[in-house]
Structure formats: C-alpha cells, structure tokens
Amino acid sequence: MRVDESVAGGAENGRGTGGTDMVAAWGRVKRRLRAELGEDVFASWFARLELDCVVSGTARLTVPTRFLKSWIESHYLDRVLNTFRAEVEEIGRIEVGVRGTAAPVRPVAPGAPKPGPTSGPLARLHAAGTPAPIAAPAPDMRSEIAGDLTGAPLDARLTFASFVLGRSNALAHAAADRVARHDGEGALYNPLYFHAGVGLGKTHLLHGIGHAAREAGRRVIYLTADRFMYGFVNALKTQNALAFKERLRGIDLLILDDVQFIQGKSIQAEFGHTINALIDAGRQVVAASDRPPTELEALDERVRSRLAGGLVVEIGALDEQLRASILSARLAAVRVAHPTFEVSPAVAAYVARAITANGRDLEGAVNRLLAHATLTGTAVTMETAETAIRDLVKNREPKRIKIEDIQKLVASRYNVSRSDILSERRTAAVVKPRQIAMYLSKVLTLRSLPEIGRRFGGRDHTTVLHAVRKIEKLIGEDAVLGDEVELLKRMLQD
C-alpha cells in the first residue's frame, strides 16, 4: 500500500495515520469483517480485498475481478465503510477498484490545481485524490452479461468427444449423454446434479452437454454461480429482473456450474424460484458443484432438497489408467500444433503415476513439458520431466489428507482415543488435542468450517473457527507447541 504523507490523512488533518498505522488498521478491519460475517462469507468476498491507498479520507481498495468489485459495491460497501471508520475516524468514503487497472481519472476542471505526474506512483495518488463516483458497470460488462443470458460461450475443446471415459466418470458421462440427446416429452432426471472435487471433469461434462444440446437445436444457457448472481443483481439494479427471469424461463436447458458459490438471501431465493419454475415447466436443469446438494450450506433446505430430487451423480477420483488415457489424449492434441514434441511412453507413465490429483494438473504438466521441450530444444527426459512437474506433485499433497487420519494421529500423539476427540467431553486433556485436530483439518484439507464441525461430532462452525484461532495464537506464543504442530503436519503430509 502507498500512503503519500503529504496527501494522506496524516499531514492533512494533523492526525497520525501514516502508512504503517494504516496497514495495521486495515488488518484490524479485515479481522472484524471476518468475525462479524463469518468465515465462509469472508472467504468468498473479502479474502482478496486489499488496501491500495488512502487519500483525502478516501480509502481505495482493490480486488482481482470486476465481479468481486461489483458484488462488494452492491452488498457490502456501507459495511466496509463503517467498519473502517470505526478504526480510522477520518475515512469518509470507500472506493473499490480492480487490481491491474488504474484508478478512474477525472477531467480536471478549469482552475483546478495542476494534475500531478501522469505516471509513477504519484499519478495514482493524484488520480485517486478526486475519486470518481462509483459507477454502474462499464458498457463492455453489460454486453458480457447479456451474452451470458443469451448463451454463454462454451469452450470448444470441452466436448463429449474429448472427454475420456473411465470407471470413475462412466455413470456421470452416461447421464450427461442421455440428457443432452433427449428430445422426447418433459425432462429426464431433473435436475441432473454432478458433484466432485476440483479438476475431475465437471465443467468439461457440462460444456459437453451444452454443445450436444445446442447441436440438437435446443436453447441452452450455461451459467456459473457467480454469473447467475451477477446477472441477477445487475438486473435488479437496472430494474430488469423480470426480463432476466423471463429470459431464463424461455429456454430448454439451464446448465449451472459451481452452485456452491451461490450466496445471499435474495439471490438464493431467486435461484430456488428459477430452478422450481424450470423443472415444473418440464425444462431440463443440470448443475455441478464440489459437494452433494445436502452440503450446500448457503442454500435453503427446500432448494437443497429440490437439487437432490433428480439424479445426483458423484464423479470419483481419476484412477491411474484414466489419468494415463487423459494424458495421452492431451499429448496427442498438443502434437497437432507441435509435431516435433515427443514424450516417451516411460515419461508419460511416470507423469500419470505422479500426478494423482486432477485433470487440471495433468493439463498443467503437459504445458510444462511442452514449454521445456520448445525452450531448450531438447527431448523430454525422465529427469527434466521430474523437475518440470515437481511442484505439481507437491501441491496436491494437502488435498489428500483425510480428516479421519488427522483425528487418529492427533489422538495417538496425545494418548486419547478418536472417540474422545469426537465426544462432548471438555476436560483439558481432550480439548487441546481436539482443537489441534480441528486446526490441522482447516489448514491441511479443503473442507469448509461447517463440514469440519460435522466431522468432529456435529459441532458448530463457530466452534471450529474458535479452535483454529486459538491454536494459531498459541503457536505464535509457544515455540514448543509450534514445533509439535509442525511435526504433526509433516507426519500427515508424508
């Protein structure tokens, strides 16, 4: 963050809000937001919110995407302002920008002070010194939304033809295929719902359905959850909500990706209405998520059960054979553009064995091997392959750790039983290992707090959050405990 002392609060109003103070204050603002809004909401919307600069009482914050900017502006601007103001009195307004884009520069009125330099850090501060009002989405954004409602672009590469079949996805693929080709009365399995961990082919299958159904002349809309939310929020803002709904209801097939990201009361209600209306009208709904419908905590019970009421199919992890097939399909696809790119069967087998996590990492591995081969002009050997994919192999490690294994290890380390850890007992001998196990579950797995709570004998997510914070704090204060937890971590990761 940059705070220009001559422009920022400090010098201007004589109060000490220099750079470091402001950074610290911002840290407190984020902690407050987290505490007030809960871990899940915070992680969804605020984790990537950063303070860029403070100028004349305006705090300029940044986020990585336009969607986040618009969402925070329409839902949380007052909240952020009030929280910030509670820490730093002179903050009078909040402005949200997208990282990588410059702050809005307003034309300088005649007689206004000379504008500052046009580049370098000062330029931004000057530009932000006269903040423009927070604007409606830019025109290009609007056409993007319209595009989504008339049919989002489907990735041409993600078709049924390029989808490799294996044991773990055969059922999902069969259901997808039937739904896509169905042209009789009503809808088959409605909704059709896929769930699986990241990179296991959900989006690929959804696009495959979209392509096939469009080829058959059906009206298809593919939306991700954030697009659904954005489209709806924006429709409300521009008073087009009715048109938005009509548009959604005038289709044959609605495909919704990543529904776990649907958030917010009015949005989830609208999401529920939309799904009900489509299903009741005999239109096909297909959805995908990283978890089964019953675990979509952000959604209303009725919406969850509606989503669970059709056919729910889980896509399992990719076994080695499937990984090898996906890998060889990708290598063949790459060779079309790079005919000299050769990967020996031994190297391919090694990669398929080493990368166990998901299809995305397999794709990443192929790109690395290709980069290596084209940059060095040498063939891919086993050694270079090993180096090229080393971090992909490492990165997947945390994802495989099971909460159950954490509980077992921690229990044995502290001489209690796993059922003690899951029990209601509150003696110190049990509470501490329980909290450590919760903490490790949070940092070593991708499970949400509510999910972790459930796995620890049906505890509330706030209990888990409390445990995580407590252990974080203790680790900072107590080096012995810090080492102990680090050791447990290593044992679980090996």
Binding site for ligand ADP (CB under 6 A): 158, 162-164, 169, 196, 198-204, 326, 359-360, 363
Rounded to 5°, angle at Cα 465 from 462 and 467: 110
How many chain residues touch Mg ion (CB under 5 A)?
2
Hey, is 110 helix, strand or coil?
coil
The residue number with the shortest CB distance to ligand ADP is 359
Distance CA(408)–CA(414), nearest Å, equals: 10
Axis crossing angle, helix 241-249 with helix 265-280, rounded to the nearest 10:
30
- Distance between alpha carbon 128 and the CA centroid of its chain, in Å? 30
Mark residues 176-215: x for contact with Mg ion by CB under 5 A, - for none. Answer: --------------------------xx------------
Q: Is residue 239 within 8 Å of residue 80, measured between CB atoms?
A: no
**Of the two residues 137 and 208, which places its CB atom closer to ligand ADP in the complex?**
208
Q: How far is the CB of 311 from ligand ADP (least distance, A)?
A: 18
- Identify the DSSP state of 76: T
Q: How far is the CB of 255 from ligand ADP (least distance, A)?
A: 12
Residue 199 near which of ligand ADP, Mg ion, none (CB within 5-8 Å, type-dependent): ligand ADP
Q: How far is the CB of 191 from ligand ADP (least distance, A)?
A: 17
Q: How far is the CB of 382 from ligand ADP (least distance, A)?
A: 24
User: Please, which residues bridge with residue 55 across strands?
Assistant: 58
Q: How far is the CB of 252 from Mg ion (least distance, A)?
A: 22
**Of the two residues 26 and 163, which places its CB atom closer to ligand ADP in the complex?**
163
Q: Which residues contact 381 (CB under 8 A, 6 or more apart)?
A: 347
Q: How far is the CB of 105 from ligand ADP (least distance, A)?
A: 38
Distance CA(24)–CA(17), nearest Å, equals: 10
Q: How far is the CB of 203 from Mg ion (least distance, A)?
A: 3
> Residue 427, class by beta-carbon neighbours within 10 Å (0-12 exposed, 13-18 middle, 19+ buried)?
exposed
Hey, is 342 helix, strand or coil?
coil
**Of the two residues 161 and 479, which places its CB atom closer to ligand ADP in the complex?**
161
Cα distances (Å, whole numbers) of residue 330 to 66, 197, 386, 429: 32, 21, 18, 53
**Of the two residues 57 and 166, which places its CB atom closer to ligand ADP in the complex?**
166
Distance CA(239)–CA(55), nearest Å, equals: 34
Residue 196 near which of ligand ADP, Mg ion, none (CB within 5-8 Å, type-dependent): ligand ADP
**Of the two residues 203 and 268, which places its CB atom closer to Mg ion in the complex?**
203
Q: How far is the CB of 257 from Mg ion (least distance, A)?
A: 6
Residue 284 near which of ligand ADP, Mg ion, none (CB within 5-8 Å, type-dependent): none
Percentages of the chain per state (helix, strand, coil), in multiples of 5: 60, 10, 35
- Identify the DSSP state of 2: B
Residue 201 near which of Mg ion, ligand ADP, none (CB within 5-8 Å, type-dependent): ligand ADP
Q: What is the DSSP string of 12-57?
A: HHS----HHHHHHHHHHHHHHHHHHH-HHHHHHHTTT-EEEEEETT
**Of the two residues 202 and 432, which places its CB atom closer to ligand ADP in the complex?**
202
**Of the two residues 163 and 230, which places its CB atom closer to ligand ADP in the complex?**
163
Query: How many alpha carbons fall within 13 Å on the CB side of residue 480?
Result: 0
Residue 163 near which of Mg ion, ligand ADP, none (CB within 5-8 Å, type-dependent): ligand ADP
**Of the two residues 10 and 199, which places its CB atom closer to ligand ADP in the complex?**
199
Residue 360 near which of Mg ion, ligand ADP, none (CB within 5-8 Å, type-dependent): ligand ADP
Asked whether position 356 contacts Mg ion by CB under 5 A, the answer is: no
Tokens in use for 445? Answer: 């797995």
**Of the two residues 188 and 329, which places its CB atom closer to ligand ADP in the complex?**
329
Asked whether position 234 contacts Mg ion by CB under 5 A, the answer is: no
**Of the two residues 161 and 480, which places its CB atom closer to ligand ADP in the complex?**
161
Tokens in use for 247? Answer: 């548009």
Helix runs in 341-478, H state only: 345-354, 359-376, 382-395, 397-400, 403-413, 418-422, 428-444, 449-455, 461-477
**Of the two residues 200 and 452, which places its CB atom closer to ligand ADP in the complex?**
200
Q: How far is the CB of 127 from Mg ion (least distance, A)?
A: 37
Mark residues 144-183: x for contact with Mg ion by CB under 5 A, - for none. Answer: ----------------------------------------
Residue 176 near which of Mg ion, ligand ADP, none (CB within 5-8 Å, type-dependent): none
Q: How far is the CB of 252 from ligand ADP (least distance, A)?
A: 23
For residue 1, count other CB atoms closer than 10 A to its CB: 15
- Distance between alpha carbon 156 and the CA centroid of its chain, in Å? 23
Residue 274 near which of ligand ADP, Mg ion, none (CB within 5-8 Å, type-dependent): none
Binding site for Mg ion (CB under 5 A): 202-203
